[in-house]
Structure 1
Amino acid sequence: MAKKLIFAYVLMLVIGIIALSPALTLAKGPFNLKAVTFLPKNNSFCDAFFMFKKELEKRAKGDLLINYAGGPEAIPSFEQIEAVTNGMVDLVLLPAAYYVPQLPVANAIKLSTLMPWEERKRGAYDFLNRLHQKKLNVYYLGRFSPGIKFHLYLNRKIDRPRLTGMKIRVTPIYKGVVQALGGIPVTIAPGEVYTALERGVVDGYGWPSVKISDFGWHEVTKYIIDPGFYQVDVGILVNLNTWNKLSPELRQIMIDTAKQVEHRAADHYARLIKEEREFITSKGVKVINFCPEDEKEYLRVAYKAGWDEVLKKSPELGAQYKGLLGQ
């Protein structure tokens, strides 16, 4: 009798350990995902994240929740990739530019001329997702800033795509473009750009097609060059261990939600871009349009500079991704 009782106790103990072990079971919910964003909550680049959060929780019907822990005030932006890789947080909204040192080919995500759903059809998304899982221990849900391009904003009018002798405030994203056009790259923190423009320390800057008005930069900007180039590469990453703990049903809900929000985000940002352009031009910012030949050359130089950088640091993977994009 004693042996039977001991055996029953041990059996119950083993079953209990298995049931409580996250490594051996799939979570069925309710499941809370701790999340951070690279910018503060009210920044427009976070809009798609909160669209995703709202729609995901609606579809999951209480089985999956996103616990928003904050922006860079919670975890500094450039430390968030390590936080999600190591499981300090479960999910982040983060530009690929912020983790290029860890995954050099991610520098090519900005070079896509396609929308996210087109990248999925061509296999480009699956290619990136596999690399994110292998190299970063994260599941790449996709890009949530579709259609937002970068522009050069100037205080000196140019008629040809040349920036010879002009000092342009840059980030690593488009530093190569400025150099290829003959400009002089200058690194200045966003909070110092207004004064630098006002005092003539720089002749211009690069920035996406939305929200220079948030900084008031339109007040000290005379021109914007059309067309834009590249795309903002803000994506959602999920810690791979967390992802693997979710039930197949919850994973599919996340994937389906991401696909839907990609389209909604494209419409949302298209509206913001239109509103921003109307606002800054009403305040006196003029648009520079090149002739067709020069416009073609401008874009050729911009994309060549981008791909040269990618292929130099990640030749094999960069070439594969470029092929998937049809470039």
Structure 2
Amino acid sequence: MTARWYGLFAALASLLAFGGAATAAEVVLKTQTALPRNHDLSKSFIKSFVEPLNARGKGVVRVDYLGGPEINPPDKAAPAVQRGALDLLHTPAAYHAGLVPQGATMMATNLSIAEYRANGAVDLLAPNWEKKLNAKILAIGETAAQFYLYLTDKPKLRPDGVIDLKGIKIRTTGAYRPLVQALGATPVQITNAGEVYTALERGLVGGFGWPTVGLASQKLAGLVKYRVDPPFYHLANVLLVNLDKWKSMPKPAQDLVMSVAAEYEKASIENMLQAAKIDEEAVKKAGIQPFKMDAKGAKKYLDIAYEAMWKRATSRLDKQEGAMLREKMYKN
């Protein structure tokens, strides 16, 4: 009888020990960046989110960074999160604006992330990712970066002082298409940043849209001659987590992820300011000439850019929702 009870107690103790170990198991987040690992935007995410979380989350939560677009093409990465093939994704909102059109409003803003968080815009935006992509927004990063158009040939000016891009093929993603089309250029969709170099080298495009960072790291500076000033829009990289994965995570893991995500969102701003300085040096070294319109032309250029993006951003939204988001995210 005694031996029998000892056996039962031993089995119970073993079961409890196993259960305790399972409960305390480290959460692993399968993670991808939509852009290449060596792109400044990806490097910002790795430096200010992946590395700090892995350092502080030992035994609680860990990022398993799988890589960039070689894992899933940029336009397929968000659906991979949606179906649970990825747990975590760092991606420009432009890459899945077809699935979540509200993402375009983050590019069309002329406010800082701190400003539109404070006024409640993020609270209005976030449920759309949960509903349409089965994903939770953890952070909106690299928002200090903007966009430029780069050209192989010197552009002409229209009578109103704005550059004339009629007949020129320009590499685009959702981030640039509204402005490119508004200026009469022919958009050529190339989502994978790594393919832009090849398209330029082969003469398939006469220019491209690009953030104010990443030009140097992707070695594109030597293939163009002109940069159109001023920059336009604001970059919005969303850090997404699969909603089912998030709900399954223990609260200590959730709390740590949210804390590091908030720190990353702020740190990414300074990351972009520093990266922009490096790109500016690369532009000078490559002999790229800034093409500047006069004050009136530059203002009209920006007006065209923002109106085109807001038109695109709100075209698939309820009229009231579009008006509410514009009120919170765009200052006239």
| TM-score, shorter chain, exceeding 0.5 | yes
Cα distance in 1 for residues equivalent to 2:322 and 2:298: 25
1:295 equivalent in structure 2: 298
2:179 equivalent in structure 1: 177
Cα distance in 2 for residues equivalent to 1:324 and 1:214: 34
Return closer, same or farther for 1:305/1:85 CA change in 2, 3 Å cut-off.
Answer: same
Q: After superposition, where does 1:139-154 map in structure 2 within 5 Å? A: 139-154=136-151
Query: Which residue identity lines up with residue 41 of structure 2 in the other structure?
Result: F
Cα distance in 2 for residues equivalent to 1:87 and 1:291: 50
Cα distance in 2 for residues equivalent to 1:101 and 1:202: 24
Return closer, same or farther for 1:120/1:212 CA change in 2, 3 Å cut-off.
Answer: same
Q: 1:320 aligns with which of 317, 320, 324?
A: 324
1:156 equivalent in structure 2: 154
Cα distance in 2 for residues equivalent to 1:271 and 1:125: 26
What SS does the aligned partner of 1:207 have? strand
Superposed CA deviations along residues 106-160 of structure 1, whole A, max 9, x for unmatched, are 2222112233222221212222222211221111012222211111112214453
Return closer, same or farther for 1:29/1:292 CA change in 2, 3 Å cut-off.
Answer: farther
**What is the count of residue pairs matched by the alignment?**
306
Instruction: Check conservation: 1:125, 1:142, Cα contact below 8 A.
Output: no
> CA RMSD, aligned part only?
2.7
Q: Does 1:108 align with 2:102?
A: no
1:194 equivalent in structure 2: 200
What SS does the aligned partner of 2:75 have? helix
Report the CA distance between 1:214 and its aligned residue: 4.0
What SS does the aligned partner of 1:129 have? helix
Instruction: Check conservation: 1:163, 1:178, Cα contact below 8 A.
Output: no
Q: After superposition, where does 1:149-298 map in structure 2 within 5 Å? A: 149-154=146-151, 155-158=153-156, 160-171=161-172, 172-187=174-189, 189-197=195-203, 202-298=205-301
2:3 equivalent in structure 1: none
Q: Percent identity?
A: 28
Cα distance in 1 for residues equivalent to 2:213 and 2:60: 35
Instruction: Flag structure 2 segments of 5+ consecutive residues without an equivalent.
Output: 1-7
What SS does the aligned partner of 1:113 have? coil
Instruction: Check conservation: 1:104, 1:314, Cα contact below 8 A.
Output: yes
Superposed CA deviations along residues 261-281 of structure 1, whole A, max 9, x for unmatched, are 122111111111111112212
Report the CA distance between 1:61 and its aligned residue: 4.2
